Amino acid sequence: MSVATGVRIALPGKGALEASTLAFLAECGMKVNRSNPRQYLARIGSMPALEVVFQRAADIPALVQNADAALGITGYDILAEHRGYGDEESEEDDYDEDLIVLARDLGYGACRLVVAVPETWIDVSTCADLWHLSGYYQTSKGRGLRIATKYPILTGRFLRRHNITHCKIFSPHGALEAAPLTDTADLIVDLTETGTTLRENRLKLLEDGVVLRSQSCLLANARLLYQQKEALTIAETILELIDARMQARNQSIVTAYMQGESHEAMQRTCAELNQRLNASMSSMELRVSTSDLTSDMEPGWYTISGIVCVGGSISTLLETVAVLRGAGAVHINVTPLSYRFEEASMSVRVLRERLKRFA
């Protein structure tokens, strides 16, 4: 990476992953300014020292590893295939590599790499069944199972863990789901989100056939971050924003006013409210505090506030409001959280520890 280009982050340049990544970055306060969708270079207004380069998602791990970009976002499945190992490996294993994962799950692009066999194989539902079938194919047909996949390295490792060695793995062009139907493969290992496409093509998942669970992830070149202070500063800023945004997701600040005899009495009331709320709603994260209300309201009124995890259901919020109303609260305000910064970013702390090996 030349000095003239500054610090680069590589982002997916097409498809659903591109749109989701741009939306995620904008949500975290890092909107990418790209005047033309065909442009390969762009900028982030809030981070002028960072240059965005759009590339194929499959090429991003190599770009970051080769220091052509300091940072990158791609699917974890792509990174795992590039490295040659997935979830079965200890996370400590990547500490000796320049290519590291800064954030494993960014909360979008979720999918699974799975083993899918024809529905007509009624006696095959586990990897153990597949092992028996592979032996049968070898003895009766003189060949192993033909497995079509775009992830030959991860597939090979998974099959070996299940002692399935009588097989041939290949990567065809086009849609994998059609391979068993056209008899160009016996089964496939492919990505799926819901399994709908597999079922539509008369394929079924093995019960223990999940090769890898994947989401979008944030990558970095550790050596480059260690050597370039500006790159490290940008990486830490991105991690801070991502951590704070993900901490704030589905959470809102609830503020209300209540009348009480004294500050101590309000503290007791708030403790009772907390107990009731947490007993009835497991997702509740309400910590109520009190302070004298300095407004045009009469003396004896206090402010109570806390954080409620709304999640995907509005009923949790309405239950909270009902409990507060029942206790006499008025003027109940709800403000969605944009960011929630902890005392320190755990991701930044982990990154600094990982970079110590270069010292």
**In 3D, which of 141, 117, 139 has the Cα closest to residue 129?**
117
Among residues 156, 189, 213, the one where a domain terminates is: 213
Q: Is 134 inside any structural domain? A: yes
Answer for the pair 206, 124: CB distance below 8 angstroms, yes or no: yes
Nearby residues of 252 by Cβ (< 8 Å), 6 or more positions away = 307, 308, 310, 317, 334, 335, 336, 337
Q: Is 351 inside any structural domain? A: no
**pLDDT, tens digit, for every residue of 66-121?**
999 999 999 999 999 999 876 655 444 444 589 999 999 999 999 999 999 999 99
Answer for the pair 253, 305: CB distance below 8 angstroms, yes or no: yes
pLDDT tens for the 359 residues of the chain, in order = 443 458 999 999 988 899 999 999 999 999 999 888 788 999 999 999 999 999 999 999 999 999 999 999 999 999 999 998 766 554 444 445 899 999 999 999 999 999 999 999 999 999 999 999 999 999 999 999 999 999 999 999 999 999 999 999 999 988 899 999 999 999 999 999 999 999 999 999 999 999 999 999 999 999 999 999 999 999 999 999 999 999 998 888 889 988 888 878 888 888 888 888 887 765 565 666 665 554 555 667 888 888 887 766 778 788 889 989 999 999 999 999 999 999 999 999 999 999 999 98
Domain extent for 44: 3-108+215-248
- Quick one: 280 and 235 in the same domain? no
CATH number for position 276: 3.30.70.260
**In 3D, which of 188, 140, 113, 129 has the Cα closest to residue 164?**
129
- Quick one: 115 and 95 in the same domain? no
